[in-house]
Structure 1
Amino acid sequence: MTNLKKMLAGALCLCMAGSMLTACGSDSDSSSKKSGGDAATSDNGGSADLSGKDSKKVYNIYCWNDEFKSRFEKYYWDQRDQDLWDGVEVNWVINANEGNVYQTKLDEALKTQTTDDMKIDMFLVEADYALKYCNSDATMNIADIGLTDDDTANMYQYTKDVMTASDGSVKGVSWQATPGLFMYNAKYARDVLGTDDPAEVQEYVKDWDAFKETAQKMKDAGIYMVSGFDDTYRCFSNTVSSPWVDADGKITVDPQIKAWVDQTKEYTDAGYNNKTSLWDDDWKAGQKIDGKVFGYFFSTWGIPFTLLPNTLDTAVDDGGKEEVGNGGYGEWRATEGPQSYFWGGTWLCGCATSDNVEITKDIMLKMTCDTATMKAITEGEQDYTNNKAAIQELIDGGYTNPFLGGQDHLALLTEAADKIDLSNKLSAYDQGCNEKFQAAMKDYFLGNTASYDDALAAFKTEITNLYGNLTMD
């Protein structure tokens, strides 16, 4: 019961902080608080007044939410190298990802690195735009920072591939891996399929043919198989055979992306989804235990940041105090689903103009390479950490997840993570392409656009307006 209360309290905090708007964590306005020791304060996406300070005495970190900040404060600060940090202030500059604000602010700051006390020391990136920074002079090779092959030996290869520049150098590291699973409502599984056992339910979703057959069973029972248009998108977009944009700047729609369009149109017309869009209120409502949606495709962040808070029952008592009930806590399960995929992830990059490289090395070693720290983060935050040894120790130790009814989903995630292959599948424009394509297809799914070709033409207009240097047939 104590663990349940802790989980519910944590989830309520997440709900109060706001729903997650990106793949990993909730977006936030710029802010800064003490990280165990001295810290500067940022305002409205800028930096604190640090004029006159020695550049080496200010460690600037640029990011888009407080996910890494919270882990930095909880798992790094107390074990930091005290000598390196003697008198050094941490300045967190946080700008929301939404509307490309984070990248815009970061790019502006990277152009003005001549001001000593404002020099960026570390910044964070996501897979959808990682190559933009990998293939620039803004990032340092982790080997030059001081990380060795032995240091990163326990990391999943795909997490290195995401940050591999065209010259073969690795430009960033992550504390997390983000393989995806199919999370399903155990109550609906029992009611419709006669079982909620993950191994048995997997037979009903083992491939897309079986998935569609099960979708019809769910529809007959008044339940949507998935919530909306975007729910299966990452299963397809992150298993493509070629990148959105080739070396000549030409945009190509991979067959896997087209397969998502065909499937989603079919599911929409057949009534297998509820016509919701990612993150909207109806999409969230489907995650209640009586929300009439069978399942969602999520990476590991989907449990603590999304499913858990959205599953909870909230009410206001007679005294006006908000109360939280456990809702569907313990009534969700996870299984492999029809295919392996990943979704999200956050990488730490050392800025090339930093004069605090030794601190960057200390952070990277402790926060992404240390097995004990990685194990603690998985236990404390439900992150699937980017360390095979840490994950295996947890599995061998009988790890269970109470939100998933005591299931050990780490073993499933390990199988999925080993299958992820991102070699030659990323471009620097993935974030814009993914967002604009999904938006353009929504009118087609709803019948507001006559054909796929019309929706594709709308996408072409939007994406070439966004990226004037790209072309599309």
Structure 2
Amino acid sequence: MFKKLFVGLLVLLAAIGLVACDNGSGGVEAKEEGSTLVIRVWNDEFIGRFRNFYPGFVKTNSDGTDLLDDGTIVKWIQVANDNNAYQIALDAALANQNSAAANDKVDIFLIEADYATKYANDRYALDIHGDLKIKESVVADMYQYTKDIVTDDKGILRAVSWQATPGLFAYRADIAREVLGTDVPAEVQAKIDTWAKFDTVAAQMKAKSYSMLSGYDDAFRAYSNNTSAKWVNDKNEVVVDQQILNWIKQTKNYSTNGYNNGNGLWSDGWQSDQGSTGNVFGFFYSTWGINFTLLGNSLDDADAPKEVGNGLFGEYRVVQGPASYYWGGTWIVGAKGTDNPTLVKDIMIKMTANPAIAESITREVEDYTNNKTAMTKIANDATYGSAFLGGQNHIALFTSAAQKIDMSNASPYDQGLNEGIQTAMKDYFAGTSTFDQAWTRFKEIVGEKYPELKFPTTPAEPK
């Protein structure tokens, strides 16, 4: 109620000339806000965060919408990310933003790292400081890379995130004890802190009937997020970085030598490999993956208590692994044309910049939140430990890794090209196509999604 009274007062003041309304370039107008807030997402991760931690949340209605304490209804529109489906649906909705009915206008939409630069600009997104009037001091304690990737070419911040996403290598302690003679994170890290050592351990795992990785794509982000240049140069040419070729070489070797199980990322086999019936030593995961995916896949009974004795709960540990990297991340964008700018601002501030809420999210669900003060506090808390990780304080590792993240090579084409190269190479890894055939398939996939892109060269098969 306070929100609507406050905005109503602004409207009155504007009418008599005491407060100015910006009717120009998509700025926030002082006017009565809408009764429905529309949020577009690709999965239910943020839905859960919102319902559990946003102070204004009251309840979820029988139709799946949410009720807020000021009477606003939150309508969630969820479209899966696969094959650019989320972006395609979002693009259509934003194209119709001006003509959409009030309760159908997009108010907030989420974006992830692979296509953040596509939407973090004047065409789609409100200016965090200029339009929404969020002070720079409010976002000062966020990790810088989470701001850099959504700052446009004019230096304007266009989105904010509640999480930072440094990556680690999660390994099974029981397999480590059997094969390596230790499950102590520092000692395991010393055995896999370079790719050469990682390969040596992969051979040791094979000798004991274990696989080092589940499938073809597991190590991809540890390579792709360490490239020296963007996927696409300023001539619209696809550039294949040496790190991508290194991933192809390693994965082909692992597939040939039986060091992986030939599974695809997110497949049923890949997920089951993370549970007690699996034979896989470890998985590359960022912050969200450990608490949001690995934990669920490791349980024998998802409905039973999350405790030791339920599947592999308590038998995973994490280390940095052979390379620093990041994976994913979700940003909250205020859509241009929203009729709920005050509520959008409130959600952004509370969900991404409130240190108490950030600390609560991390302590309760083990997500790594985008507040350096809160994360440093937990990293230095001698009493903190993840029961799922055998009592390990993984936040301390994440805090170190987060400082090394560099997203300067992110581009609008990342999702399509990352998915395309992984899809195209599967038959090559499986031995049912040549490298040249796989490369031709990659060019076809890219051509379908991005016909404007060119391929000036064909790389030699990495050996």
TM-score over 0.5 for the alignment?
A: yes
Superposition deviation, residue 137 in structure 1: 0.9
CA displacement at 1:136 relative to structure 2: 4.8
Q: Secondary structure at the match of 1:123?
A: strand
- CA 85–251 in structure 1, closer or farther in 2 if over 3 Å, else same: farther
C-alpha separation in 2, matches of 1:154 and 1:220: 47
Which AA in structure 2 matches 1:226? Answer: L
Alpha-carbon deviation of 1:454?
A: 2.7
Worse-superposed segment, 174-183 or 136-145 = 136-145
SS state of the match for residue 214, structure 1?
A: helix
Which 10-residue stretch deviates more, 433-442 or 140-149? 140-149
Range 286-295 or range 126-135, more displaced: 286-295
Q: Where in structure 2 are the equivalents of 1:219-230 lying within 5 Å?
A: 219-230=206-217
Matches within 5 A, 1:296-335: 296-314=283-301, 326-335=310-319
**1:400 counterpart residue number:** 385
8 Å CA contact 1:55, 1:119 repeated in 2: no
Q: Distance in 2 between matches of 1:57 and 1:314?
A: 41
Letter in structure 1 aligned against 2:212: M
Query: How far apart in 1 are the matches of 2:55 and 2:101?
Result: 24
Indicate the larger mover: 129-138 or 85-94. 85-94
Distance 1:245 1:305 in 2: 31
Q: Which residue of 2 aligns with 1:33?
A: none
SS of 1:227's equivalent in the other structure is strand
Are the counterparts in 2 of residues 289 and 331 from structure 1 also a CA contact under 8 Å?
no
Q: CA deviation at 1:311?
A: 1.5
Q: What is the CA deviation profile of residues 297-345 of structure 1, one whole-angstrom value per residue up to 9, with x for unaligned ones?
A: 0012222322222212249xxxxx9999601111110011001001111
- Pair 171,323 (structure 1): closer, same or farther in 2 beyond 3 Å: closer
Which piece of structure 1 moves more, 239-248 or 257-266? 239-248
Residue 187 of structure 1: how far off its partner (Å): 0.6
Q: How many angstroms does 1:466 deviate by?
A: 1.4
Match of 1:472 in 2: 455
Q: What amino acid does structure 2 have at the position aligned with 1:107?
A: D
Q: Does 2:109 align with 1:123?
A: yes
Structure 1's consecutive aligned runs of 4 or more residues displaced over 3 angstroms after TM superposition are 77-80, 84-87, 321-325
Aligned AA (1:270): N
Q: Contact conserved, 2:380 with 2:396, CA < 8 A, in 1?
A: no
Q: 2:35 aligns with which of 54, 57, 63?
A: 57
Q: Which runs of 5+ in 2 are unaligned?
A: 1-31, 59-67, 457-463
For the residues of structure 1 that align with 2:250 and 2:430, how far apart are their CA atoms? 14
Give the Cα–Cα distance (whole angstroms) in 2 for the partners of residues 419 and 302 of structure 1: 19
Give distance in 2, aligned partners of 1:191 and 1:290: 16
Q: Give the CA RMSD over aligned residues.
A: 2.0
Q: Secondary structure, in 3 states, of the residue corresponding to 1:464?
A: helix
TM-score normalised according to structure 2 size:
0.85
How far 1:367 sits from its partner (Å)?
A: 0.5
Structure 2 counterpart of 1:182, from 169, 174, 179:
169
Spell out, residue by residue over 1:109-145, the C-alpha distance to the aligned partner (whole angstroms, 9 max, x if none): 1111223412211110011111111135111121121
The CA deviation string for residues 440-460 of structure 1, in whole angstroms up to 9 with x for no partner, is: 01111111112x233112111
Secondary structure of 2:109's counterpart equals strand
Show the counterpart of 1:15. none
| Alpha-carbon separation, structure 2, partners of 1:249 and 1:207 | 34
Partner of 2:183: 196
Once residues 363 and 146 of structure 2 are traced to their aligned partners in structure 1, the CA distance between those partners, rounded to angstroms, is 21
Residue 107 of structure 2 aligns to a residue whose secondary structure is strand
Tell me the distance in 2 between the aligned counterparts of 1:207 and 1:415. 18
Q: Deviation string for 1:258-296 (max 9, x for gaps)?
A: 111011111111221111111122212221235211110
Q: Does structure 1 retain, via aligned residues, the 8 Å contact 2:420–2:442?
A: yes
Structure-1-length-normalised TM-score? 0.83
1:410 aligns with 2:388: no
Describe the SS at the equivalent of 2:76: strand
Structure 1 letter corresponding to 2:321: G
**What SS class does the counterpart of residue 393 from structure 2 fall into?**
coil
